[in-house]
Amino acid sequence: MFFRELYNEPLAQASYFVGCQATGEAVVIDPNRDVEQYQRLAAEHGFRLVAVTETHIHADFVSGARELATLTGARLLLSGAGPADWRYDYAAEAGAELLVDGSSFTIGKLEFRALHTPGHTPEHLSLVLIDHARAPEPVGIFTGDLLFVGDVGRPDLLERAVGIGGAAEAGARFLFRSLKRLASLPDYVQVWPGHGAGSACGRALGAMPQTTLGYERRFNWAFQIQDEDEFIRAVLEGQPESPPYFAVMKRVNKHGPPLVASLGPIGKLDLQRLRAVLGQWVVVDARRAEDYARGHIPGTINLPFNRSFVAWAGWLLPYDRPIGLIIGEDAAERAVKDLRLIGLDCVEGFWTPTVLDEWRASGLELKTVARLGVDRARELIAKGEVHVLDVRRPDERARGHIPGSLHVPLAELIKGEANLPADRPLLVHCQTGARSALAVGLLSARGMRDLIDLEGGFSAWEKDEVAAGAR
């Protein structure tokens, strides 16, 4: 057996390439939209891709299953389990074969058996792998978003993200029973989950790439609770707010995502075009937060092109307006590819950072954002010269906050419903400085003035307090 996990760090998402070396056939499980990586792996190792499948209708990225099957001619295998109103609408059109509980398919000497394991979603499947070239017993199970390292999939997304009333408690009940189904498998069975640490599809996922059923039964909190009602309370408590793009992903993956091949490339744009579209497009300045603070084009928002780019794009960027990027030419293609991973297909073009020089040369001014250290921030607060805005999560604020500060979590600020004072400068902070920079960029794009970003966030504030106490 040939086995590779392909892990996408920004999405904290795992897909799997499994091949039978005896026949040269292979299957991809839970592919994302970057389908070239799977084709490249097949070519490098001499495999022929004959099947593509996925465990469920994903909420956090656009599935690449349909595209990969179309490009390679592989069989498309999708879940046909669960209620009729939550199945793949495009399955028949795409010629997909439907898997239900007890279904199986083979890739050479490898057998994959489907278990219907609802809870995270109603149609969710887990795939048990048997390598008949070695033994008639299971070697592992692809658990998708049912079971993670140290955690389980959240059952509340259909209610929170899609708006289906009562789905959270019903999902939690199904999740409890699906986990019990795994009792029929031996402890040595390897677990290959769909996500790792950092994913919003669970509450506290572990960083190990895989685990075993025996280890999880012994140490995963979910297996320690034997009472169903107690489990429901525990699994629903403290789940983080789901990013707004999750609802879009559910619809896209249910109805059938458009093929990336039909979208085409994007091009470099000029200053005249930028001036024409400001206020109509969402123009993203993808430079570092400190560069944006030193000078940016009014009306642009700051979303640095780093590891968190995709995650925050799903919070900040709309699906119903054109998007333009200010980004280095060498990074533009990669950024567009990353945005397409979550269905943001409306990027119309990009400008390189030299457009800021052209903007100034044409007689227009750049906007700046003040960035202050803790010492200077304390002085302004003591004199009552600023309002303080805390954009952290409620659980973070509960562990400590700046006295007298306003609290609007970034997730709420993004919705644009907060009434913020404008009579004094607004000092914005988060825990370490990353989210406050996003918040400042967002508020700046909305026309707010006199914004100040607290460098180092509340962590720097606490360290300063500790140091002051030691003096």
The sign of the torsion formed by the CA atoms of 258, 264, 269, 275 equals: negative
Phi, psi (degrees; rounded to nearest 5) at 368: -125, 160
Q: Would you state the pLDDT for residue 365?
A: 95
pLDDT at residue 226 tops 90: yes
Judged by DSSP in three states, 71 sits in helix
Higher pLDDT, 161 or 39: 39
Write out the two tokens for 175: 């999740």
Compute the half-sphere exposure of residue 272: CA atoms within 13 Å on the CB side of its CA.
0
CATH (one of 3.40.630.10, 3.40.250.10, 3.40.50.300, 2.60.120.10) for 370-470: 3.40.250.10
- Sheet of 267-268: strand order equals 267-268, 347-351, 323-326, 282-285, 301-302
Which pLDDT band holds residue 54 (cuts at 50, 70, 90)?
Answer: very high
pLDDT at residue 204 tops 90: no
337-349 burial, b for 16+ CB within 10 Å, e for fewer?
A: ebbbbbbbbbbeb
Distance of alpha carbon 71 from alpha carbon 29, whole angstroms: 16
Which pLDDT band holds residue 468 (cuts at 50, 70, 90)?
Answer: low
Least confident of 27-41, 110-124, 229-243, 357-371: 229-243
Distance of alpha carbon 283 from alpha carbon 309, whole angstroms: 14
* Segments making up each domain of the chain, as ranges: 2-255, 263-361, 370-470
Higher pLDDT, 61 or 465: 61
Confirm whether 263-361 and 370-470 share one CATH topology: yes
Distance of alpha carbon 397 from alpha carbon 395, whole angstroms: 5
Which pLDDT band holds residue 197 (cuts at 50, 70, 90)?
Answer: confident
Q: Of the candidates 74, 20, 82, 38, which has an alpha carbon nearest to the alpha carbon of residue 57?
A: 82
Say if CB 392 and CB 402 are below 8 A apart: no
pLDDT at residue 164 tops 80: no
Write out the two tokens for 166: 């009562």
Q: Do strands 25-29 and 190-193 pair parallel, antiparallel, or not at all (unpaired)?
A: unpaired
Average pLDDT of every residue of the chain: 93
Q: Would you state the pLDDT for residue 465?
A: 80
Distance of alpha carbon 152 from alpha carbon 8, whole angstroms: 19
CATH class of 263-361: alpha beta
Which pLDDT band holds residue 283 (cuts at 50, 70, 90)?
Answer: very high
Write out the two tokens for 135: 């033994």
371, β-bridge pairs: 453
Of the chain, the percentage scoring pLDDT greater than 70 comes to 99
Tell me which CATH homologous superfamily contains domain 2-255: Ribonuclease Z/Hydroxyacylglutathione hydrolase-like (3.60.15.10)
Q: Do strands 25-29 and 13-20 pair parallel, antiparallel, or not at all (unpaired)?
A: antiparallel
Which pLDDT band holds residue 241 (cuts at 50, 70, 90)?
Answer: confident
Which pLDDT band holds residue 240 (cuts at 50, 70, 90)?
Answer: confident
Write out the two tokens for 125: 């499947």
pLDDT at residue 256 tops 80: yes
Say if CB 9 and CB 98 are below 8 A apart: no
Highest-scoring range by mean pLDDT, 180-184, 238-242, 337-341, 410-414? 337-341
